[in-house]
Amino acid sequence: MVQRVTTVAFEGIEARAVDVQVQVAPGLPAFNIVGLPDKAVSEAKERVRAALVASGLALPARRITVNLAPADLPKEGSHYDLPIALGLMAAIGAVPHDALSGFTVLGELGLDGSIAAVAGVLRARPGEVSLAHNGVLFLDELPEFEPRVLDALRQPLETAEVVIARANHRVTYPARFMLVAAMNPCRCGRANDPGFACRRGPNARCSADYQTRISGPLLDRIDLTIEVPAVTASDLILPPPTEGSREVAARVARARALAEERYAALGLVGVRTNAAAQGPVLEEIARPEANGLSLLRDAADAMRLSARGYHRVLRVARTLADLDGAEKVGRVHVAEALSYRAFVDEIRRAA
């Protein structure tokens, strides 16, 4: 008779059901685990044997076979100890055969029969972009990162997912994050200082060499680029701005509420912000007025906007209109959205 216990195998953050099949049959004494087990799973038979002996149970002098189905799915980790042990106990009659039905079992066994905590269930760990899911990923001195690392951000910025491909399986992690990056104008950071002359060559060229370490496709995915001048001592004694963080937060909350109401009225499930609007929906809800559309057409040619850049300008313009409480996207909103991409255009010309 084959005794079955249900457990799981982990693929990224997804759990796949695994059927632990235990058979105790006549034959020479043996204890085999099959079904693509890794080293930790193969060693489970020694932990299970010791744990059962410590609990007052002895394995029968028979042939024990444990199959972890499906057989083509890699099994990793020590959390298979407990389901194997319980399956064996049911197979030898130590517990009722139907006592384990309806349960999913995970756990690592100690040699004394104790159940240890499973040390994590993710055995391909998520990286920084998945740890920043539904939050902010801040990268300081952006051009100092390796180009291949930066280009790896392109797919998650577009799809809100990270895909890790291995020889035998493919893992997908969620990665919907807000990217915030900072950088100096050049390696020494003084290219924009009045009267400063760089030894590497003209300041503009030195800045362009440094800034073009960021690929064009990655820059194309950044909606807002703002040049922040150095803060002087006189700036520090200026009075505080009339609009503080609390007022800005309230204005942003109102804009988000407007967007949420808009997409709910359209019956779009799962779309709550302008960032999540795609394709025809975006072009419909963010279509500028006539003078704004004319400006966008001219700018698209002059700034060589890609299709992705065009849609990102529309998203930003729609958000700016929401911040103003405007029903339609006007020329002023399009102009401001385009101004946030002017920095990218300057880098391309300087390069």
Helix (H, G, I), strand (E, B) or coil at 144: helix
Give the pLDDT confidence score for residue 74 in this predicted structure.
87
Give the pLDDT confidence score for residue 116 in this predicted structure.
87
The mean pLDDT value for 222-251 works out to 86
pLDDT tens-digit readout, 143-192: 999 989 999 999 999 888 988 876 666 778 889 999 999 998 888 877 77
pLDDT tens-digit readout, 60-116: 889 999 999 999 888 988 899 999 999 999 999 899 988 888 999 999 999 999 998
Give the pLDDT confidence score for residue 119 in this predicted structure.
60
- List domains and CATH numbers for the chain: 2-116 (3.30.230.10), 134-222 (3.40.50.300), 245-350 (no CATH)
Give Cβ neighbours of residue 154 (< 8 Å, ≥ 6 apart). 217, 218, 221
The torsion angles phi and psi of 50, rounded to 5 degrees, stand at -65, -40
Evaluate if residue 255 carries a pLDDT over 90. yes
Give the pLDDT confidence score for residue 121 in this predicted structure.
54
Give Cβ neighbours of residue 223 (< 8 Å, ≥ 6 apart). 312, 315, 316, 340, 341
Tokens of 123: 């055995």
Query: Mean pLDDT: which of 188-197, 296-305, 315-324 is highest?
Result: 315-324
Q: Please tell me the pTM assigned to this model.
A: 0.68
Percent of the chain at pLDDT > 90 equals 51
Give the pLDDT confidence score for residue 171 in this predicted structure.
79
The torsion angles phi and psi of 78, rounded to 5 degrees, stand at -95, 0
Give the pLDDT confidence score for residue 349 in this predicted structure.
57
Could you tell me which residue, 194 or 341, shows the higher pLDDT? 341
Q: Which helix (H) or strand (E) holds 183?
A: none
Q: Which helix (H) or strand (E) holds 126?
A: none
Q: Which residues of 285-317 are buried (b: 16+ CB within 10 A; e: fewer)?
A: bbebeeebeebbeebbeebebeeebebbbbbbb
pLDDT tens-digit readout, 2-28: 999 999 998 777 788 999 999 999 999
198 — pLDDT class (breaks 50, 70, 90): confident
Give the pLDDT confidence score for residue 104 in this predicted structure.
92
pLDDT tens-digit readout, 109-129: 999 999 988 765 557 667 889
Evaluate if residue 245 carries a pLDDT over 70. yes
Give the pLDDT confidence score for residue 199 in this predicted structure.
73
Helix (H, G, I), strand (E, B) or coil at 76: coil
Mean pLDDT over the full length of the chain:
88
* Contact assessment for residue 189 and residue 306, using Cβ atoms and an 8 Å cutoff: no
